[in-house]
Structure 1
Amino acid sequence: MCFLFLCGILLLGVVNAQFPYLNNKTQEFAVNGSAIPNVTFDIGESYAGYLPNTVTGYPSSNLYFWFFPSSNPNASDEITVWLNGGPGCSSLAGLMLENGPFLWEPGTYAPVRNPFSWTNLTNVVYIDQPSGTGFSLGPSTAISEFDIARQFTYFWKLFARTFDLQNRKVYLTGESYAGQYIPYIAAQMLDMKNTTYFNVAGVQLNDPYINDLTVLQDAPALSAINHHPSLFPFNSAFKSHLTTLAQTCNYTTLLTTALTYPPPLTPFPPVSHSPNCTTLYTQILSAISAQNPCFNPSHITDTCPPPWNPIGGPILSVGPGPTNYFNRSDVQAAINASPTDFSLCKGNIFRTPDGLDPSPPSSLGPLARVIEGTNNTLIAHGTLDFGLLVNGTLVSIQNMTWNGKKGFQREPVEGLWVPFREGGGSGGGVLGTAHTERGLTWSEVWGSGLEIPRYSPGAAYRQLEFLLGRIDSLSDQVEKFSTE
């Protein structure tokens, strides 16, 4: 596709500062930034479309991308990838609800500019992967994370060649099940030892799926409801039942052992995987949903009515809505997407008998190696996420060995300082914790649910600044004020 004014630029051979990535290779992907349906402002230069993710066997298998160049001069040698999770959820959820240049907030009539757009800092590409996800055309061909990593790197080399992004620093970011995707992709890139295309400079995982659900949900569930008693107002008999169950299943002992600094070098206590034990989390969900029919595990302060969802729901932490924006034919045409019955999340994305991912959890697989390979890995977690719990992620970290030691040696209690930004509307000050050891940074964000860029955009923006190396510490101002 070549819009009239863009074609004119190309035919005249004019180098236009407004469209630095536009050339004969990229013109078919150009998006008219002033013609996005319902968006009342020009979103600027961007490119969207399809590139193959496999060389043979499945010629129709490809990945859909939407690439937003940044005008920030500090971004000239880098490219940042955003992936949503699921598995099987479109990364356009992150674009339109979290950190893209325009947001359609639940309950509003039209999209608005995002003052905390990550494109203000860096070049960002949103990718629907694996194949079969979002706008990416199937069939899905992956049977493991190793397949996903191989297919992604094949796609990525083509993408870099198309937009002349060779020799760029590559930052991989995402949330939820991207905690599984990204470590495997990053490990594959690092193993290729080809910095022309795969120079992984940093990784950020928000509220990540990095272990089995017994560790991420069942084991830490009791401590979470005890931490938020007003949001889980259970009677004493039910809480006593949960306490006994947590003790019987060895969950209490696991948390006590793992959440010490430094952790013991001996293996952590095993937990029971009996059917009775692995229902602790679902018992809590059932009980709280009876009290709050609109309970949202991704953002536990939500009550009825749930916020409506402009891009198709229910999904993540927004409820059902009257529209599915990306399922509109005019929207699909504007962003170079094939006519698609678009669904924000799809199940059975792996070609396995049960449709599930058989790969080892990333914290038991490639994550430690990725930390060592980048020495710039950030794991962030919203404290109001009950889908994947803070203490479950911390237990997973404390069970990993990287750069010569097991877990964090010191308790992560330093403050996360977020500057006030005029006109941003996100607040500032100390909004959580931030702690770095041996190339891994852990950051809790108080008051945020699963989607940190949505619920605490200033904190997410600050964390990205740190990942990109624009600031040296997430606690600088805290340290400054504490010494004055």
Structure 2
Amino acid sequence: MSKSALRNGRPEKVEDVQAIRAHVRCRTLIYNWPLPREVNMRRESRQASSEFRHLNDKTKKFLVNGTDIPFVDWDLGETYAGLLPISKEANETRELFFWYFPSENKNASDEVTIWLNGGPGCSSLIGLVQENGPFTWFKSAYRPVYNIYSWHTLSNMLYIDQPAGTGFSVGSPNITNEEEVAEQFLGFYQNWMETFGTKGRKTYLTGESYAGHYIPYIGDAMIKSDQSEDYSLSGAMMFSPYIRSKPNDFQQQVVTKPFLEQYNNVMGLYPGVGDYWDRIAKADEECGFAEIRDKYFTFPPTGIYPPGNESTACQVSRIVYEGLANISPCSNIYHISQGCPNPSDPLLWADAGDNASVPISFDKKTWHGYLNIPQMREAIHIPAGQKDWKECVDNNPFGPDGDKSDDPFTSGALTRVIEKTNNFIIASGNLDYRVPTNGTLMVLQNMTWNGGQGFDEFPNKDFFLPTAYSDLSSQSAAGKIGDWVAQRGLTFARVYLAGHELPEYAQGGGYRLLEQLLGRVPDLSSSIMFTALPGDFSQVPGSNTTNSTTSW
């Protein structure tokens, strides 16, 4: 294998092309499909269940009626939602909102998996509703659908809006750095564990984007805490994580030109289309990015990178954004294959100028986002008169100067969590330009953990998904969807046709990655059937499973 890291992730064999075509079909969504018989049986049995294992005097005020969620026409079963303070102070006004989905999976009895979205200041309910929760309302869809690949079938899932003021959470965060974020988070989590009786259970941290800052710092605080046994941090997983901010050239700028060379058929910044390509190529050369790639982005790495370049002239991503705004106004840097028409988003507001985001089946004059429907707010215990939910806060929660922390690469927080847990996964979608896959990999090649720098090999093992429901293929591809590498407690995985929000664009891939984190499958190349889907897969052709009959 060549040491050069300018790998583009394109298929090299006919069977790879066939698998990727199947992956493309996973985004051609059919929203009112007939569910498999086993799933309908499972839905009916959930509706009949009255054995709530987490219900007690402390939790009963948070219990959600699983039949009261708007437009969800099945019973969600046992679930809890509400607000808890970030400290035990009597006058504490800062409270974080949570939505908890206990799992019926017998293997999940001693664990809690936390999901965090990024921003900073973006709600984790985005992940719940559009990525990995028990119901999914896809963009442009008529209504929510049952999510076969809900993470709560694998683990007890806890979605948290944080820091304070994010989503349904309330109060002013009064934070300037990640250490303060972690302190407030652990204050909330202590209160939550006491309420639900989970102290000492394994904790897994998961999230995406700016959670690449949150998770290493929160995990590091758990490790250093004198209450570390309460948290029992056992692993972490981050999707398209923002882990290198000062300088940011290694995670985005250095890899921009080869990214465009690979995907310009989609992005359209060709030579001769304005002067964008010429400016990008000039900056790439003058800022030394080409030399850095050739010399340092190798496997194994050749040494520590030189100091970064933060000059304005070297911010080539700004040229990309400028060009896309002028020649392709519908472009999406979070998933570059998406363009006009912009899909309607049920989570967004129907403010002036944003009516196009309202699902076509609803009145644009009265639509204020799915989570702000009065029935929804009442169901999940949002106090009357509390602020409306928004996907992301209007102002940076760290204040006008932003997050003053060193990034988790520089501070060592990321390294310490990897070395403590020896169970850390970082995964990226190749069609994400906001946090490019090779940019993240380039940062990791400059990082030392467990006695070695970077990976010895470029991701070269097949990331494989089994075939589950042939009549529900629109929620997951099958076969080879990407590749991966793992060394010294850290796994890095790529999904070829996913974007920034990997569990949204590749639900089966996100599900398999969580199985790997929880230790339910040997590795990402395994052909074993998904371990917690309802039904008997013993007769599924090509499943090659040793765990074919599953029950929750």
| TM over 0.5, shorter chain | yes
**Matching residue of 2:109:** 76
Question: Are positions 1:411 and 2:467 aligned together?
Answer: no
Alignment of 1:29-428 (within 5 A): 29-56=62-89, 59-192=92-225, 194-212=227-245, 213-237=248-272, 238=275, 239-265=277-303, 267-278=304-315, 280-312=316-348, 320-321=357-358, 322=364, 323=367, 324-338=369-383, 339-352=386-399, 354-365=400-411, 366-422=413-469, 423-425=471-473, 426-428=476-478
Q: Do the aligned partners of 1:86 and 1:177 also contact (CA within 8 Å) in 2?
A: yes
Q: Do the aligned partners of 2:68 and 2:375 also contact (CA within 8 Å) in 1?
A: no
Q: Do the aligned partners of 1:250 and 1:270 also contact (CA within 8 Å) in 2?
A: no
**Matching residue of 1:6:** none
Between the two proteins, the alignment pairs up a number of residues equal to 458
Partner amino acid for 1:428? A
Q: Do the aligned partners of 1:82 and 1:126 also contact (CA within 8 Å) in 2?
A: yes
Q: Return the alpha-carbon distance in structure 1 between the equivalents of residues 149 and 296 of structure 2.
A: 36
Q: State the Cα deviation string for residues 100-147 of structure 1 (Å, max 9, x = none).
A: 000111122221110110011111010000001001001112221000
Q: Return the alpha-carbon distance in structure 2 between the equivalents of residues 351 and 225 of structure 1.
A: 33
Q: State the Cα deviation string for residues 314-372 of structure 1 (Å, max 9, x = none).
A: 9xxxx8335411122221111112332221101434344x2511111112220011100
Partner amino acid for 1:335? I
Partner amino acid for 1:277? C
Q: Do the aligned partners of 2:114 and 2:203 also contact (CA within 8 Å) in 1?
A: yes
504, 513, 518: which one aligns with 1:463:
513
What value does the CA root-mean-square deviation take over the aligned residues? 2.0
Q: Do the aligned partners of 1:128 and 1:136 also contact (CA within 8 Å) in 2?
A: yes
**Secondary structure in 2 matching 1:229:** helix
Q: Return the alpha-carbon distance in structure 2 between the equivalents of residues 434 and 170 of structure 1.
A: 24
**Secondary structure in 2 matching 1:197:** helix
Following superposition, the deviation at residue 273 of structure 1 comes to: 1.9
Q: Return the alpha-carbon distance in structure 1 between the equivalents of residues 494 and 91 of structure 2.
A: 42
> 1:446/1:145 Cα in 2 relative to 1: closer, same or farther (>3 Å)?
same
The alignment's TM-score, normalised by the length of structure 2, stands at 0.80
Q: Do the aligned partners of 2:279 and 2:319 also contact (CA within 8 Å) in 1?
A: no
Partner amino acid for 2:201? R
Q: Return the alpha-carbon distance in structure 1 between the equivalents of residues 89 and 285 of structure 2.
A: 52
Q: Which moved more, 1:458-467 or 1:34-43?
A: 34-43
Q: Do the aligned partners of 2:348 and 2:357 also contact (CA within 8 Å) in 1?
A: yes
Query: Any stretches of 5+ residues in structure 1 without a counterpart?
Result: 1-15
Q: Return the alpha-carbon distance in structure 2 between the equivalents of residues 144 and 64 of structure 1.
A: 21
The alignment's TM-score, normalised by the length of structure 1, stands at 0.91
Q: Do the aligned partners of 1:149 and 1:185 also contact (CA within 8 Å) in 2?
A: yes
Q: Return the alpha-carbon distance in structure 2 between the equivalents of residues 351 and 288 of structure 1.
A: 29
Query: Any stretches of 5+ residues in structure 2 without a counterpart?
Result: 1-48, 351-355, 359-363, 529-541, 544-552
**Secondary structure in 2 matching 1:454:** helix
**Secondary structure in 2 matching 1:165:** coil
Q: Return the alpha-carbon distance in structure 2 between the equivalents of residues 110 and 298 of structure 1.
A: 23
> 1:241/1:142 Cα in 2 relative to 1: closer, same or farther (>3 Å)?
closer
Q: Do the aligned partners of 1:250 and 1:272 also contact (CA within 8 Å) in 2?
A: no
- Higher RCO (C-alpha under 8 Å, 6+ residues apart): 2
Q: Do the aligned partners of 2:267 and 2:336 also contact (CA within 8 Å) in 1?
A: no
**Secondary structure in 2 matching 1:148:** helix
Q: Do the aligned partners of 1:50 and 1:63 also contact (CA within 8 Å) in 2?
A: yes
Q: Return the alpha-carbon distance in structure 1 between the equivalents of residues 170 and 287 of structure 2.
A: 44
> 1:463/1:313 Cα in 2 relative to 1: closer, same or farther (>3 Å)?
farther
Q: Return the alpha-carbon distance in structure 1 between the equivalents of residues 301 and 349 of structure 2.
A: 41
> 1:17/1:469 Cα in 2 relative to 1: closer, same or farther (>3 Å)?
farther
Q: Do the aligned partners of 1:420 and 1:428 also contact (CA within 8 Å) in 2?
A: yes
Q: Return the alpha-carbon distance in structure 1 between the equivalents of residues 477 and 430 of structure 2.
A: 17
**Secondary structure in 2 matching 1:208:** coil
> 1:193/1:433 Cα in 2 relative to 1: closer, same or farther (>3 Å)?
farther
Q: Do the aligned partners of 1:89 and 1:134 also contact (CA within 8 Å) in 2?
A: yes
Partner amino acid for 1:102? F
Q: Return the alpha-carbon distance in structure 2 between the equivalents of residues 461 and 236 of structure 1.
A: 40
Identity of aligned residues (%): 39
Partner amino acid for 1:89? C
Q: State the Cα deviation string for residues 235-257 of structure 1 (Å, max 9, x = none).
A: 32543432221011122222223
**Matching residue of 2:483:** 433
